[in-house]
Amino acid sequence: MDAPHILVVDDEKTITDLVGIYLRNEGFEVTLCYTGAEAAKEIIANDYDLAVLDIMLPDIDGFELLRTIRADHTYPVIMLTARDSQGDKIEGLSLGADDYVVKPFRPLELVARVKAQLRRYTSYGTREQAEQDAAIISFDGLVVNRDARSVTVDERPVRLTPLEYAILLYLAEHRGHVVPVDELFSAVWDEEFMPGSNNTVMVHIRHLREKIGDDAQNPRFIKNIWGVGYTIEA
């Protein structure tokens, strides 16, 4: 199997090169970009398994690069930034980012987050899982196909990020039950629920609803049980 190909974008050459060294030491194929314009060309021309994007670039910022990726791709994106504001984090998550790492950071921590995102991206819909569970979950016009790792609504294909797919799959697997927010976060992100995690879940749920055509005020699929969590009714 080919090594995962990772795109790393940061205008601070020392940081970019250091991240590249750590990722290559783990066996990943890595492409390094030092400007947004260079990265935009790479995103359009090549397929990647994951991208690490700095937000504050001198030309095209990381948010614009994220928009470019999400126009055609669902692979995980980790935002790297020196700005530790809740607004930046919410904007990144709203645009489809999967994780958010604040500088200064430990390279080994970033590597661990890269591995976690790649595991999540490749684990759903694998042959092993398909053998353990029914390959297709279908209800009310929504179809989740584990074998193909695909989602359709009224026969219309829906392109989801790995986190969005994981949220939908978890709720679909537990439909008929209310899934507490902390349980959903722990199951999907594989991290301890912390202050602020609720906002992260809310942003991804909102993005997921938009893609599957679910009205939050009159939901067809995902219902919010205030103060508890989310449910898809059986």
What per-residue confidence (pLDDT) applies to 183?
Answer: 92
For domain 5-123, give the CATH number.
3.40.50.2300
Query: What are the structure tokens assigned to 218, written together?
Result: 């009159």
Query: What are the structure tokens assigned to 51, written together?
Result: 């991208």
What per-residue confidence (pLDDT) applies to 91?
Answer: 74
Residue 69 CA to residue 51 CA, distance in Å, equals 9
Q: Is the per-residue pLDDT at 94 higher than 60?
A: yes
Q: Is the per-residue pLDDT at 21 higher than 80?
A: yes
Chain-centre distance for alpha carbon 164? 7
Residue 3 CA to residue 152 CA, distance in Å, equals 30
pTM of the model: 0.62
Domain chopping of the chain, boundaries: 5-123, 127-232
Residue 50 CA to residue 180 CA, distance in Å, equals 29
What mean pLDDT is predicted for residues 77-86? 77
Q: Is the per-residue pLDDT at 102 higher than 90?
A: no
The pLDDT confidence band at residue 24, using thresholds 50, 70 and 90, is very high
Q: Is the per-residue pLDDT at 120 higher than 80?
A: no
- Cβ atoms 24, 2 nearer than 8 A: no
Domain 127-232 has CATH 1.10.10.10: yes
- Cβ atoms 107, 70 nearer than 8 A: no
What per-residue confidence (pLDDT) applies to 77?
Answer: 93
